[in-house]
Every structure is written in structure tokens, then in C-alpha cells.
Amino acid sequence: MKTPRAIHWVLCAVAAATLMSTGAALAQKRDSMIQTIPAVRNIDPALVELGKKLFHDPRLSRSGFISCASCHNLSRGGSDNLKTSIGHNWSQGPINAPTVLNSSLNLAQFWDGRALTLKEQAGGPIANPGEMASTHEVAMDVLRSIPGYASEFRTVFRTDQMSIDQVTTALAAFQETLVTPNSRFDRWLDGEDNAITKDELAGYHLFRDSGCVACHNGPNAGGTSFQRLGVVQAFQSVNPQPIGRAGVTGRDADRFKHKVPTMRNVELTYPYFFDGSARTLTEAVDVMGRLQLGRVYTAQENAQIVAFLKTLTGQQPRLMLPILPPSSDKTPPPRPFN
Ligand code: HEC
Ligand code: HEC
């Protein structure tokens, strides 16, 4: 009789503990229009590694000097922190470089969403005269001439034929891994009360209740829709304002609409807006309040929203510096000055 009773008590204790812990976890998970970052799908690590090399390889550019990482610096939140980017021959780019961090979570790529996927996007910059200024043919000649790449492509793709399609596949796979989970705000969403301060929480409530989340929502706190900059009041740009989404859809109603940018890691990706005209978050929040919502925040409210936005800085990708395979005697030389 004694043993069964002891077992009964142990079982009761275990059941109660389980109930308590699951009950507590359920009660604490917070409902929000901003969700935590989903886990990355399983991707072949060899493909990701190849993509990482290509992302950092300036030989994909005509100058042999500009890589994807030049403008999407992973030591700086996946951006270049310039108003607009510097391309081949120091040419002045037309638009601010968005971060590549978490960009797989966006409904489309580029400010106007003209590429649907990361793979579709990745072919663009290599051949863009104002960016890397090469051609897909030259870039492939360069890669084919590098024995280290030839063998790595063969291992990953199981064929001797190297193609630009494989390059963009690898670049996209690598970028899919560039997510930044476990920000303090995510931990708060998961029920950790002390993960954010009172001021940061007040900032979140302002962001939610005054309507910022109507546009900046989803796991990326943005990237779910195209919206006009200047809903209530027109935006004055120093740059000629691009026609935005209308360039893709041809619809007049889409003029000046851009993809709503992510708020994740926004602390790291200054300056702000398509033209980089807002130097600080304080300025960007003020412009958003007035132009999008017709609301002027007090200095304290603005500071609280900024404090909230900074809780969205997540765990940055931890990368081993890729060591690139050396060029061979046959590799077409870089042409930095023409
Ligand atoms: C000279 C600077 C520069 C280089 C080099 C460059 N980019 Fe970009 N990138 C930009 C700019 C500027 C934009 C925004 C262009 C636009 O929206 O019209 C952009 C947009 C993107 C986006 C879209 C992000 C989003 O949320 O919309 C991705 C992804 C991206 N680049 C990846 C790459 C990859 C991969 C490479 C290398 C093959 C690369 N970039 C090379 C400047 C650069
Ligand atoms: C009607 C939709 C909408 C609302 C509401 C809105 N935003 Fe935005 N937000 C945008 C769009 C679109 C952009 C990009 C504008 C551009 O440069 O073309 C943007 C850009 C930003 C940026 C700059 C991000 C970057 O990387 O350049 C910040 C910061 C920002 N919003 C914060 C806020 C805050 C805070 C609020 C509430 C006060 C808010 N937004 C309300 C649509 C909206």
C-alpha cells in the first residue's frame, strides 16, 4: 500500500508543476500586432556558407572593390549608414540602402517592392551600373576562373555548370539566415516582464495606440504593406521623390508609396527614409507623427517611442569571417578606375 501512495503523490506533484508552468506561460505570452521572429527554415549549411562568401566577395563588382557587404555591412546593422549609397566610381546612389537583416520577412524586396524574393533581388546589384557595375557574364567568368569556387559550386549544386542562378540562390540562402531574434521586446512579448523598462513600455503603448502599428506590424514590425510617406501632410524631399510603388504597378494610386520599412534594429540603420533625410530617430518619429498621423508628440512622448524602438535591436548574426578563395592567373582583372 505504501509504494502506490508515494507514487501517487509524486505523480500529483509532477502534474501540478506541469499545469502551473504551462498555465503561467500561456497567461504571460503577449498579444501584439508585432510578433516574435520565426525560426529560420532548415537550409543546407554548405549553400549558406557559399552565399556568405559571395556576399562578401568584391570580385562580383567591376572594380573588384565593392561587395554586397560594402553597402549592407553586417557590422552595422546590414546597412551603410549613409544617406544614399556610394556605387561604382564613387557614383551617388539615388536612394537609401535598406538593411538586409530580417529582409526575408518582408512581403517584397526594394523600397518599391520590384523584386518579390531575395533570389530575384540578388541579381540586380551586380549588373547595376550605379552599384557593382559588372555584368552577369563577367561576374560568372570571374567565378569560373577561381578554382576554389569551381569546386565549392560543384559540391553544393552537384554539377560542373556554374550559373548566375546558382549565385543568386546562394546569396538568398545566406540572407535568409540573417535574422535577429531575442530582442528585449521579443522577450517581453514572450512574457518576461522585466525585459523592458517603464519608459520603453510607455513608448510601445504610444506606438500601438496612436496608430504606428497600423503600418509597422508583423514579425518585422514593417514589411507587410506599401504605404505613402505623407498621409496627412506632404513630405518635402531634397531628392526628387521617386514615384515608388507606381513604377511597379502602373497605378496612379500607388504614386509615392513605399514598402513600410522594418523597425527591427532601427537603432542601427540610421539615417532614415528613402532619401536618408532624417538623421536621428527623434527626427524620424517626429516626422512620422506629423505626416502619417497628424499628431505632434511632446519631447517626452517622442523620447519614449524612441526608447521603445531601441528595444527592437535583436541578436545580430554571429559570423565567422569568410576566407575567399584566391583568384587564378586566368581571372579577369578588376577595373577600378574605368
Ligand atoms: C552600392 C551599394 C549596394 C550594393 C553594392 C548592394 N546593395 Fe543591396 N541595396 C542597396 C540599395 C540602395 C538598395 C535599395 C534600392 C531600391 O530600393 O531601389 C538595396 C536593396 C537591397 C535589398 C532589399 C532589402 C529590402 O528590405 O527591400 C536586398 C535584400 C539587398 N539590397 C541585397 C544585396 C545583395 C545580395 C547585394 C550583392 C549582390 C547587394 N545588395 C549589393 C545598395 C547596395
Ligand atoms: C500610414 C502608414 C504609416 C504609419 C501610420 C507610420 N509609418 Fe512609419 N513609415 C511608413 C513608411 C511608408 C515609411 C517609409 C517612408 C519612406 O521613406 O518613403 C516609414 C518610415 C518610418 C521610419 C524610418 C525607417 C527607416 O528605416 O527609414 C521610422 C523610424 C518610422 N516610420 C516610425 C514610425 C512611427 C514611430 C510611427 C507612429 C508615430 C509611424 N512610423 C507611423 C509608414 C507608416
Alpha-carbon gap, residue 94 to 317, rounded angstroms: 28
CB-ligand 2 contact for 293 (6 Å cutoff): yes
pLDDT for 188-199, tens place per residue?
999 999 999 999
CB-ligand 2 contact for 229 (6 Å cutoff): yes
In the prediction, which pLDDT does 2 show?
Answer: 43
Please indicate whether residue 179 or residue 7 has the higher confidence score (pLDDT). Answer: 179
Other C-beta atoms lying within 10 Å of the C-beta of residue 95:
18
**Which of 324, 338, 316 minimizes the C-alpha distance to 60?**
324
SS3 148: helix
Averaged pLDDT for residues 142-165: 98
Does domain 184-310 correspond to CATH entry 1.10.760.10?
yes
**Sequence-distant (≥ 6) Cβ neighbours of residue 197 within 8 angstroms:** 307
pLDDT above 50 for 311: yes
Q: Report yes or no: 67 and 58 within 8 Å, Cβ to Cβ.
A: yes
Residue 318 confidence class, pLDDT cut points 50, 70, 90: very high
**Which of 175, 156, 191 minimizes the C-alpha distance to 55?**
175
Q: Residue whose CA is closest, atom 35 of ligand 1?
A: 122
Query: pTM of the predicted model, to two decimals?
Result: 0.92
SS3 325: coil
**Residues in the chain, total:** 338
**Which of 70, 60, 89, 18 minimizes the C-alpha distance to 334?**
60
| C-beta pairs of 323-330 under 8 Å, 24+ apart in sequence | 324/53, 324/56, 324/57, 324/59, 324/148, 325/53, 325/146, 325/147, 325/148, 325/149, 325/152, 326/146, 326/148, 327/59, 327/142, 327/145, 327/146, 328/145, 328/146, 328/147, 330/145
Query: If you write DSSP's letter for every residue of 209-230 in order, what string do you get?
Result: HTTGGGTS-TTTTS-S-EEES-
pLDDT over 90, % of the chain: 88
Phi first, then psi: what are they for 86, rounded to 5°? -100, 125
CB-ligand 2 contact for 212 (6 Å cutoff): yes
Residue 242 confidence class, pLDDT cut points 50, 70, 90: confident
Phi first, then psi: what are they for 109, rounded to 5°? -110, 155
How far, in Å, from the CA of 334 to the mean position of ligand 1?
21
Give the chain's radius of gyration (CA, Å). Answer: 24
Which ligand has an atom closest to residue 78 CA? 1
3-state secondary structure 161-199: CCCHHHHHHHHHHHHHCCCCCCCHHHHHHCCCHHHCCHH
- How do strand 257-259 and strand 86-87 relate by DSSP bridges? unpaired
**Which of 131, 126, 128, 137 minimizes the C-alpha distance to 54?**
126
289: which 3 cell numbers? Answer: 507623427
> Taking the domains of the chain in order of start, what are their residue ranges?
45-176, 184-310
Amino acid at 167: V
Which ligand has an atom closest to residue 94 CA? 1
Alpha-carbon gap, residue 148 to 144, rounded angstroms: 9
pLDDT for 208-241, tens place per residue?
999 999 999 999 999 999 999 999 999 988 777 7
Q: Residue whose CA is closest, atom 20 of ligand 1?
A: 110
- Do the domains at 45-176 and 184-310 have one common CATH topology? yes
In the prediction, which pLDDT does 5 show?
Answer: 53
Please indicate whether residue 133 or residue 28 has the higher confidence score (pLDDT). Answer: 133
Query: If you write DSSP's letter for every residue of 264-275 in order, what string do you get?
Result: TTTTTS-SBSTT
**CATH T-level assignment (fold) for domain 45-176:** Cytochrome Bc1 Complex; Chain D, domain 2 (1.10.760)
How far, in Å, from the CA of 299 to the mean position of ligand 1?
34
